[in-house]
Each structure stands twice: as structure tokens, then as C-alpha cells.
């Protein structure tokens, strides 16, 4: 039997490109959305578009690294409106433009804490509630970068790879209590984050296209949503090569920091 479509949806990172597009993809009369981000102006703009489309919207400006604050907000919202679908999308990237640069401990800490711990901080409180109810759907936005370390963004790749692993690990635990998990692995999507990526961005798509793709996968309760397929295939082929060859190919394709090879 096909699972019912969600009515109450939480989206973190809703002030960003993919999160805002996802929020809009769910906005409709009868829908109740909770949108989280930090930049209140962009968050309110996303909320206004969703309200215009007929959704009831609550907005929360909050840092996902603040685990107790996030838990308090999520639990209060879930008590009011039991969450059907949680989309943990918030994330940051740190990039190196050329090989003379090196990631600082502060930058690494920010990326790992936001992308890995911030996502876990988001999922744990709601998954606990969903487990008690015996229903619900959790989605986490990782990245195709989870599957191939790139010298342009070492901490980012590590954070998304760790998230991939955490998702794999909790899937059976969620599944045993009737909860679906969808892991999302986008390629390049137009956003402030990808605008700052200092190299080529093959098969770049708009956030609205990404959101449509993700929503289709979520509606079908897919375990994984990976796109674009051609880039996913490329990464698989790259990983079949010896690492020095793969590194050289990445540099040749302008997917490595400048100043090498
Ligand atoms: N764009 C791509 O090519 C691409 C590819 C693969 C995966 N992804 C993933 O997709 C997700 C969304 O990225 P995007 O492309 O839409 O980038 P974006 O436009 O920069 O949006 C990032 C979002 O994350 C929020 N965020 C960042 N740090 C946060 C923190 N500490 N606490 C709370 N919210 C925080 C931002 O909030 P504020 O701006 O309000 O601070 C913003 O809403 C990320 O997880 C990213 O890693 C993106």
C-alpha cells in the first residue's frame, strides 16, 4: 500500500536554495510547514512564498549546532503538530581555491559540526517521537561528494561521507519501528554554496529542479535519491581507478584546487 502523503513537514536550511525550493514544493492549502535557517530575511522570504501557496508556516531562526535549543524547538513544534516528514537539509561548505591553502581547524570544526552533528541534532529528537508513534519519514541531505573525497573541500566530503554512513546505520533501527529514511545525494545545484565552489560544476541544475526530483523520491519513499545519474556513474568509474589516476583525472577535469599536476 502506498504511504499517505505528508501534511506536517519540517525543513532545515529553508533559507537556502535547496531548502527553500523544497519548502515551496510542499507548500499547498492544508499543509503545515516549519522552516528553519539562520538568516531571518531569507527565511521570511521563503515562508512568504509558501504562505502565498496556501500553507500554514512557522519560522524558526536557529543554529543546528545548538543541540539543546534545536531539541526544545523541535519537540515543542512536534507536540503542536506531529511531524510526518523531516527534511534535514542545512549544511555548509569550506573550499580551497589552490594548493597553497590548507583548511584551518576552525573551518573543519564548523563544517563537521554543522553537517554531521547539526543533522544528527535535528534527526534525533523527531526520530524519537516518530519511533514512539510508529510512523513517519526522515530525509537527510548528504551529497555525491560523500562518495569521492575532493581536494577542494576535504572537511565537506568527510562530513557528507560520515552522514551517509550514519544514515545507513540507523535505517534498520528506524525501519523496525515503521519509519522510512531517505538519503539524498545531489550533484551540483545552483546556490550560494555552489556559487562559491572554485572549479567546474558539471551538470549543474537549478534548485527548483532538484526539489522536484527530491519530492518525487520522497513521495515514493525511496531509500536513496541520487542525481544526476550521469555524475553518479562518473564517480563510480572514478573510484574504480587507482587513486593517483583518479586524482589526475579530477585535476584534468578542473575538479581540483589550482596549482597541481
Ligand atoms: N548546492 C549544491 O551543489 C549541493 C550539492 C550537494 C549537496 N548539497 C547540500 O544541500 C544542502 C543545502 O545546500 P544549498 O546548496 O541550498 O546551500 P545554501 O543555499 O548555502 O543553503 C544552506 C542552508 O543551510 C543553512 N545552514 C548552514 N549552516 C547552518 C547552521 N549552523 N545552522 C542552521 N542552518 C544552517 C543555511 O542557513 P543560513 O543561510 O540562514 O545561515 C541555509 O539555509 C546542504 O546540506 C548542502 O551540503 C548542496
| pLDDT tens-place string over residues 130-166 | 999 999 999 999 999 999 999 999 999 999 999 999 9
Q: For position 259, what pLDDT does the model report?
A: 84
- Residue 64 CA, closest ligand 1 atom number: 32
Distances (CA, A) of 235 to 50, 165, 196: 36, 17, 22
- Cα separation, 241 vs 144, in Å, equals 17
CA-nearest of 162, 67, 153, 39 to 107 is 153
Which run of H or of E encompasses 33? strand 32-37
Choose one of 10, 11, 12, 13 to mutate for the ligand 1 pocket test, by most ligand atoms within 8 angstroms of C-beta. Answer: 13
Choose one of 12, 15, 17, 193 to mutate for the ligand 1 pocket test, by most ligand atoms within 8 angstroms of C-beta. Answer: 193
Ranges in the chain, pLDDT < 50: 261
pTM given for the model: 0.97
SS3 240: helix
**How far does CA 120 lie from the centroid of its chain?**
12
Measured from the CB, is residue 154 less than 6 Å from ligand 1?
A: no
Query: Ligand 1 centre from 242 Cα, in Å?
Result: 32
Query: Which residue has cell 524558526?
Result: 60
Domains delineated in the chain: 8-252 (3.40.50.720)
Q: For position 2, what pLDDT does the model report?
A: 63
Cell matching residue 166 = 550514519
Query: Ligand 1 centre from 88 Cα, in Å?
Result: 10
- The 8-11 sheet, strands edge to edge: 56-61, 32-37, 8-11, 85-88, 136-141, 179-186, 224-227
- Cα separation, 42 vs 212, in Å, equals 21
Amino acid at each position: 500500500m502506498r504511504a499517505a502523503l505528508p501534511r506536517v513537514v519540517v525543513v532545515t536550511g529553508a533559507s537556502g536554495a535547496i531548502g527553500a525550493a523544497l519548502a515551496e514544493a510542499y507548500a499547498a492549502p492544508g499543509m503545515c510547514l516549519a522552516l528553519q535557517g539562520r538568516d531571518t530575511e531569507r527565511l521570511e522570504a521563503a515562508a512568504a512564498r509558501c504562505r502565498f501557496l496556501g500553507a500554514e508556516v512557522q519560522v524558526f531562526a536557529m543554529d543546528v549546532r545548538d543541540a539543546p535549543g534545536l531539541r526544545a524547538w523541535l519537540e515543542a513544534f512536534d507536540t503542536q503538530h506531529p511531524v510526518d516528514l523531516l527534511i534535514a537539509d542545512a549544511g555548509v561548505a569550506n573550499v580551497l581555491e589552490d594548493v597553497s591553502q590548507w583548511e584551518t581547524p576552525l573551518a573543519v570544526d564548523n563544517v563537521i559540526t554543522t553537517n554531521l552533528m547539526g543533522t544528527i541534532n535535528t534527526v534525533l529528537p523527531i526520530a524519537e517521537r516518530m519511533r514512539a508513534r510508529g510512523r513517519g519519514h526522515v530525509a537527510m541531505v548528504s551529497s555525491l561528494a560523500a562518495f569521492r573525497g575532493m581536494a577542494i573541500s576535504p572537511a565537506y566530503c568527510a562530513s557528507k561521507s560520515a552522514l551517509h554512513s550514519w544514515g545507513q546505520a540507523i535505517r534498520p533501527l528506524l525501519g523496525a519501528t515503521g519509519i522510512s529514511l531517505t538519503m539524498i545525494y545531489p550533484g551540483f545545484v545552483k546556490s550560494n554554496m555552489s556559487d562559491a565552489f572554485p572549479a567546474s560544476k558539471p551538470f549543474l541544475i537549478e534548485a527548483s529542479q532538484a526539489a522536484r526530483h527530491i519530492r518525487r523520491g520522497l513521495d515514493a519513499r525511496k531509500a536513496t535519491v541520487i542525481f544526476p545519474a550521469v555524475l553518479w556513474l562518473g564517480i563510480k568509474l572514478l573510484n574504480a581507478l587507482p587513486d593517483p589516476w583518479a586524482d589526475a583525472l579530477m585535476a584534468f577535469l578542473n575538479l581540483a584546487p589550482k596549482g597541481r599536476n
